[in-house]
Amino acid sequence: MADIGVRSEMTGPSALWGRDRAAARRGRSCAASPIKLLAGAGALSAVAAAGSGAAHADAVAYLLNVTVRPGYHFANADDALTYGRGICDKVAYNRTYGAIIGDIKADFANPDEYQASYLIAQAVNELCPPLIWQLRNSAANYRPASP
């Protein structure tokens, strides 16, 4: 890892401002460098986002994860998003995990349980994160069919 010349004994968000507060108490200048300001703003936004509890959809992450991965063969990004949102709709309408797995296996003519579960996980995690617990509850007692 590159050494950028910033050293601190403290960790976490307090490390970003600890030296400047100490310098101000001693009567010294506490002008922050642009790097410190950017780091502070980033830390504040990360803390605010983590503390808000709101989960946001990330279509780009979903597209990267399912279009680069072999086995799905979506014609384009719109088809991939439409399919993923369809999975979200199925979860929202209380379709069972097993039924959704069966739909995906049939749609892609692929009996691979992992491929189907990966697509479900990516769709729900990235496109409709508020439904994660609903999906988990649906999948709790799911057992794959024996080969």
Question: Which amino acid type is present at position 88?
Answer: C
Give kind and range of the element (H or E) at residue 19. Answer: helix 14-25
Residue 39 located in a structural domain = yes
Q: What is the pLDDT of residue 65?
A: 86
DSSP 94: T
21 lies in some domain: yes
Show Cβ contacts of residue 122 under 8 Å, excluding neighbours closer than 6 positions: 62, 65, 66, 84
Mark whether 73 and 25 lie in a shared domain: no
Same domain, 63 and 133: yes
Return d(Cα 105, Cα 55) in angstroms, integer: 28
Question: pLDDT of 14-67, one tens digit each?
Answer: 343 344 444 444 555 444 444 443 344 444 444 444 443 445 678 898 998 888
Task: Say whether both 113 and 91 belong to one domain.
Answer: yes
Q: Using CB atoms within 10 A of its CB, is residue 96 exposed (0-12), middle (13-18) or buried (19+)?
A: middle
Percentage of the chain lying above the pLDDT 70 cut:
61
Nearest to 89 by CA among 127, 119, 56, 61: 127
Structural domain range at position 20: 14-52
